[in-house]
């Protein structure tokens, strides 16, 4: 039986009264809550017959008229403009399986509405288990749309209330001999990932920092610290890689969560192919009199962990930092460190939150007069941003010192970017406020993977330098951020 064609539109609002979108997600079925009740209205758009699926003031919509598998489907305010073909759907019922598919009627879009608990609503193959639903609505009576595979209900994720921000934990006393992750823990925002090629990020850490592989025989060696809470044992690397013929195969996570970063081999949609490991011997440095090496990234280098533990998901608050360099960067996507998609695909705006460092301004609403950069930005998927859509780009400080501290923290309705010289001085607040409003960045839909040197969809065009970094759960206080910066300066980069 062919049901009327239905359009579902969802909108995620970033500012009250704005025309942004809302998420379309799967949540447990909860009876007669308005966000799970969908109605049906017949429409004709450009001579194409169909209907709109709506829940209250929201209708279901394919983002930006995209036509490819995996494209984001979300909610948009009904009546905010004439319906487009990206809002037209047809419900078809399969008598043998008793399941229904919701087929897009948009031209050149041979896909159906699909969904997963991790990614929300997307376009999927109509035969996919992700696209099978039990549809409880009719042309005259609203009802639920139940996802067969998960048993969850399609739900409009209403925009969060941005008038009251989540609390920031109060900082506690910092223990003697503390390193960055000890400081974060004392501030109530413990590290869930801590990676470094140069030093321990806990005062009592005495384990491995990274693993190198010798290319001529594929033998490996783990490089640790010289002493508990100390610096990398670069001499062990020099002994094992005398001809500078090694690659880093793993950055060990120093936190209790074991979120190690390995070379990512999958690639997606032509973005990457197989990633390559960095050569650990090309960029030597000294820190407090100790020889160390950086992780020197060129296009094609990248690391990832799609199966993490403890990393922020959904709208959970998080903070992160890395020490990088203002002397090696580019304007390509993306030299990132932070939270990303678990499938190495572009799953839509708001599905990642990572530090970006470089001079790409491709996604900025307003372009700066100076395009040299580099800048500390937030990669939120489908764009690396120095702030919201209204920030004056000519007021954003560049970070071109040899050693740069870059920080990003995010919570419901707000993100903060900070940067500074890792050799001296305090942090500069680069931005604090709402995320960009031209796309669905509120609410965030974090998935909790970790990346280094690549974009969330595994785009590997970025160049950069990585010395150390950590990701926390929770939105850090300014006092905690300042203490971490002071610790980085005290570590003695370049001295």
What would the pLDDT profile of 108-129 be if each residue is shown by its tens digit? 999 999 998 877 899 999 999 9
Which range (145-159, 293-307, 463-477) has the least confidence?
Answer: 145-159
The helix (run of H) or strand (run of E) holding residue 53 is strand 48-55
What would the pLDDT profile of 190-228 be if each residue is shown by its tens digit? 999 999 999 999 999 999 999 999 999 999 999 999 999
Q: Per-residue pLDDT for 7 more than 60?
A: no
For residues 311-321, give the mean pLDDT. 95
**HEC profile of 319-374:** EEEEEECCCCCCCCCCCEEEEECCCCCCCCCCCCEEEEEECCCCCCCCCCCCCCCC
| DSSP SS3 for 68 | coil
Give the catalytic positions in this structure.
381, 457
For residues 351-365, give the mean pLDDT. 94
Q: Per-residue pLDDT for 400 more than 80?
A: yes
For residues 307-326, give the mean pLDDT. 96
CB atoms within 10 A of CB 495: 11
Buried b (16+ CB within 10 A) or exposed e, 82-95: ebbbbbbbbbbeee
Residues sharing a CB contact under 8 Å with residue 448, sequence separation 6 or more, in sequence order: 308, 311, 312, 313, 339, 342
pLDDT at 101: 95
pLDDT at 491: 98
CB 442 within 8 A of CB 14: yes
pLDDT at 180: 98
For residues 61-81, give the mean pLDDT. 84
- pTM of the predicted model as reported, rounded to 2 decimal places: 0.76
**Dihedral sign from CA coordinates of 139, 140, 144, 148:** negative
What spatial distance separates the first Cα and last Cα of the chain, rounded to whole Å? 75
Task: Give me the percent of the chain exceeding a pLDDT of 90.
Answer: 66
For residues 351-367, give the mean pLDDT. 93
- For residue 134, name the pLDDT band (cuts at 50, 70, 90): very high
pLDDT at 275: 86
What would the pLDDT profile of 8-32 be if each residue is shown by its tens digit? 322 222 222 334 677 888 888 887 7
């Amino acid at each position: 039986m062919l049901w009327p064609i239905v359009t579902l539109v969802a909108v995620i609002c970033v500012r009250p009264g704005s025309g942004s979108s809302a998420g379309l997600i799967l949540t447990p079925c909860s009876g007669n809550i308005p966000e799970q009740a969908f109605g049906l209205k017949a429409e004709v758009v450009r001579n194409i017959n169909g209907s709109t699926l709506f829940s209250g003031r929201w209708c279901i919509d394919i983002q930006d008229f995209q036509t490819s598998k995996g494209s984001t489907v979300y909610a948009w305010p009904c009546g905010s403009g004439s319906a487009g073909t990206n809002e037209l759907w047809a419900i078809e019922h399969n008598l043998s399986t008793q399941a229904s598919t919701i087929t897009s009627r948009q031209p050149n879009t041979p896909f159906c509405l699909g969904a997963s608990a991790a990614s929300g609503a997307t376009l999927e193959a109509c035969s996919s288990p992700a696209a099978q639903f039990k549809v409880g609505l009719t042309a005259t009576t609203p009802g639920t749309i139940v996802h067969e595979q998960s048993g969850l209900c399609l739900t409009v994720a209403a925009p969060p209330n941005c008038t009251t921000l989540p609390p920031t934990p109060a900082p506690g006393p910092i223990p003697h001999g503390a390193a960055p992750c000890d400081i974060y823990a004392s501030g109530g925002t413990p590290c869930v990932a801590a990676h470094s090629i140069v030093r321990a990020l806990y005062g009592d850490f005495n384990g491995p920092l990274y693993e190198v592989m010798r290319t001529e025989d594929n033998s490996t060696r783990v490089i640790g610290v010289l002493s508990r809470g100390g610096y990398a044992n670069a001499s062990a690397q020099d002994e094992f890689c005398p001809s500078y013929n090694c690659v880093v195969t793993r950055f060990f996570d120093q936190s209790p969560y074991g979120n190690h970063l390995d070379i990512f081999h999958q690639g997606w949609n032509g973005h990457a192919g197989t990633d390559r490991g960095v050569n650990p011997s090309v960029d030597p440095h000294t820190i407090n009199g100790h020889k160390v090496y950086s992780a020197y990234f060129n296009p094609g280098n990248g690391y990832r962990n799609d199966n993490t533990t403890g990393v922020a998901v959904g709208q959970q608050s998080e903070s992160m930092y890395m020490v990088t360099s203002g002397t090696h960067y580019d304007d390509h996507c993306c030299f990132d460190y932070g939270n990303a998609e678990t499938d190495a695909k572009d799953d839509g705006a708001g599905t990642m939150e990572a530090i970006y460092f470089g001079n790409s301004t491709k996604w900025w609403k307003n372009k700066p007069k100076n395009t040299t950069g580099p800048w500390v930005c937030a990669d939120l998927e489908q764009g690396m941003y120095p702030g919201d859509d209204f920030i004056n780009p000519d007021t954003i400080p560049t970070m071109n010192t040899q050693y740069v501290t870059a920080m990003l923290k995010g919570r419901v309705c707000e993100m903060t970017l900070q940067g500074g010289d890792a050799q001296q001085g305090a942090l500069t607040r680069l931005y604090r406020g709402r995320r960009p409003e031209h796309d669905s960045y509120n609410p965030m839909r974090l998935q909790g993977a970790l990346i280094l040197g690549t974009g969330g969809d595994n785009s590997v065009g970025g160049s950069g330098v990585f010395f150390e970094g950590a990701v926390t759960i929770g939105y850090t206080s300014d006092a905690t951020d300042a203490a971490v910066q002071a610790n980085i300066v005290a570590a003695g980069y370049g001295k």
